[in-house]
Amino acid sequence: MPHAKPNHSKRLDPRLPFVFDTRTLGLADVRSVSRTAAAPASLGAGLVSVPEGADLELEVRLERVTDGVLVTGVVRAPLVGECARCLDVFTSATEVCFTELFTHDADDEDADGYLLDGDLLDLEPALRDALVLELPLAPLCAEDCPGLCSECGVRLADAGTGHAHAGAGTDQTPGGSPAPETRKER
Ligand SMILES: [Zn+2]
Ligand SMILES: [Zn+2]
């Protein structure tokens, strides 16, 4: 996990939108938390992203386990994307489930997860990883987006099914196109 590096230089601020305090969470305790938080900057991948400041709806379940705190949850986020076929900007939303173990031990050999900072855990890196993984590399404004006309570049969804060009396909006539000299009739 790319964001697993602990930050020992300064303590997490418990007031940060994605920080959860597990101090009062006893062993085998389970706590459910619902929270709406503003999306951090540059939360996206390629053509699609969560607008900065948009509402992220979080429902998380914190569970104290022997190794640390297990966080399972779901995040719902609005998306703004650019269609990979017709280049139109569109909005949609996504819902991503995640499960992450936050541990205390920074020196653990197989610690590929996230670390607790004392009693605090910062869900933002985990959310970022989970969301970005779910985002499509080639987002579409609609499943059946017809894309752009190869002749004139118009967005075919706007132009309608009857959109066609009279001269379509004649610029490369198979079997030798007529030489300009042979067409003196016009
Ligand atoms: Zn499209
Ligand atoms: Zn066209």
Centre of ligand 1 to C-alpha 50, Å, is 18
Query: What are the residue boundaries of the structural domains of the chain, listed by start?
Result: 19-134
- Average the pLDDT over 30-54 and give the result: 94
Q: Which ligand is nearest to the CA of 47?
A: 1
Closest by CA position to 103, among listed 90, 115, 92, 111: 115
Say how far apart CA 130 and CA 21 lie, in whole Å: 21
Centre of ligand 1 to C-alpha 26, Å, is 50
- Residue 178, sorted as left (phi over 0), alpha (psi -120 to 50) or beta, turns out to be beta
Is residue 186 scored above 50 in pLDDT?
no
Calculate what percentage of the chain has a pLDDT beyond 90.
67
Say how far apart CA 139 and CA 59 lie, in whole Å: 26
Q: Mind listing the pLDDT tens digit for each residue in 133-156?
A: 999 999 999 999 999 999 999 999
Q: Which ligand is nearest to the CA of 165?
A: 2
What's the chain's average pLDDT? 85
Q: Which ligand is nearest to the CA of 147?
A: 1
Q: Which ligand is nearest to the CA of 86?
A: 1
